[in-house]
Amino acid sequence: MTFTEWFLFFLFVQVIHFLGTWKLYQRAGRKAWEAAVPVYNAIILMKIINRPKWWVFLMFIPIVNLIIFPVVWVETIRSFGRHSTTETFLVVLTLGFYIYYVNYATKDAYIVDRDLKPRTEAGEWISSILFAVIAATIVHTYLMQPFTIPTSSLEKTLLVGDFLFVSKFHYGARVPQTAVAFPMVHDTIPGLGVKSYLNKPQIPYFRFPGFENVERNDIVVFNWPVDTVRKFFDRSGKHYKKPVDKKSNYVKRAVGVPGDSLSVVNGYVHINGEQLELPDRAKPQFSYVGQTKGQPFNPQSLYKLYDITDGYSYNPNNNFFVIRALSEENFERFKNHPNVASIRRYVDSAGVKNPSLFPNDGKRNWNNDNFGPIYIPEAGKTVEITPGSMPFYKEIIETYEGEEMGMNNKLSVNGTQVLLNGQPIDSYTFKQNYYWMMGDNRNNSEDSRTWGYVPENHIVGKPVFIWMSWDSNASGFDKIRWDRVFTTVKGDGEPTSFLPYFLIVLVIFFGWRYFKKRREA
């Protein structure tokens, strides 16, 4: 739905509200016309049901309003003496239309000083839970979202088992585009394995202003643009297409920002012709191959001594081994291992073709280690569109700036001419910024080299804090990585844990409360 369609829908809801409540407004000592004025009618309704005016604000927050509207419906009928459990269920199940019955078919007097305290303990629990969910949903959607690192693509910068807080406000929080969804879950309701949302209606893309832009080398959480996680199917057996904000969450490093020319040379990223300098905490990993002196390695020993977490493979027939991921620092130590006869970094030679890489047309001799150059699109910039360049921008024009912005764009080629919706074009101006996301685990990361650009409207947030870290490769008490608990994601030097300071604050706080209670007693 467009903003215009949502505005018309809003006016339609106002008409529905007026027709169903104007007599109730009169019974409460107000004027009938007050039920017809948008927003003002909600403020007056809060006075009638004796609830705070800030509830009106909650009614306009997507997802939160799905919780607050049923509460307002129930409070409305209770303000006119309708307290029974049956009527409570009726007003919710009829989506508020039971209020029409109360408005036209009853003459119940308005209860001026209605007791707002729930009449049962269960009611009090439900009320507390509802507003806890509302508060958590606001925080989760607009401020800070918990996130778990699921894969090793950013090892050793972010580790599998790191539990993060992802800031929504650094880059500006997005208003949820999916208007009807289960609160505080992503695309699936936990335990049930069913879809957590309805595809329609959709809210037009809008992002609140942030206080910084995505900068080169930032670690970013985003919605995977080409989501093909086949969790949901319709009856025809076709893949279920997800809305933008319900696509799978990924986390990578933004190595290319709008306007950059990016290439990968022998595994190293180059921006505008110069090798990218990574931050101090970044620890890129590469694959290594070699031969042993006749014995296999002990995997647990490789983990403990050289922090090799992605495992290795070994061929006893020729003593050949492959280390899937190893940092350069640990490589310098590992090459001196007494069982290593030879070892070298694995690099795909320039000119060796990997047809599965972006732009997936099989016409370029590119691979993961030697890739590009490629232009990262910038909003407002214009590029030439030819049959040769079309594969780079086809997904942008048809999907990211087509389907996801409410347009039906279709690119095709007629001889040497590119057609957009049947009309010849020789250039295209981008409507939003794009980013190039890659993992630090360069030979063991599915990233933009495979599926291309990440649109700005897919950006979720910025990881800022690790509150817990769980090591699945360790055993026993060592499973918690205590040195990573309560550490920041960004910064210079080795991460410093703020856990001791947090524990000191907790001890001071609870000690103060204890002595305060003793003094009052």
Positions marked active-site: 153, 252
Q: What is the largest CA-CA distance in the chain?
A: 94
d(CA 101, CA 107): 10
- What are all long-range contacts of 104-108, with beta carbons under 8 Å and residues at least 24 apart? 104/23, 106/80, 108/27, 108/80, 108/81, 108/82
Give every CB contact of residue 117 below 8 A, 6+ residues apart in sequence: 124
Bridge partner residues of 411 (DSSP)? 420
What are the tokens at 329? 């620092």
d(CA 409, CA 393) in angstroms, rounded, equals: 12
Is residue 200 a contact partner of residue 426, using CB atoms and an 8 Å limit?
A: no
How many angstroms separate the CA atoms of 51 and 116, rounded?
A: 9
64 closest CA partner among 173, 138, 143 = 138
Which strands make up the sheet holding 274-275, listed edge to edge?
274-275, 268-271, 261-265, 371-375
Question: Strand ranges (DSSP E) for 268-376?
Answer: 268-271, 274-275, 285-292, 312-315, 320-327, 340-345, 371-375
267 Rama class: left (phi>0) / alpha (psi -120 to 50) / beta: left
- Is there a contact between 357 and 369 (Cβ–Cβ < 8 Å)? no
Alpha-carbon distance 311 to 296, whole Å?
A: 13
Contacts 24+ apart (CB under 8 A), 66-72: 66/180, 66/181, 66/183, 67/130, 67/133, 67/134, 67/137, 67/183, 68/134, 69/96, 70/96, 71/130, 72/45
Angle at 112 between CA 107 and CA 117, to 5 degrees: 110
Beta strand extents in 298-452 (DSSP E only) = 312-315, 320-327, 340-345, 371-375, 382-384, 411-414, 417-420, 423-425, 427-429, 434-438
- Cα distance between residue 478 and residue 387, in whole Å: 56
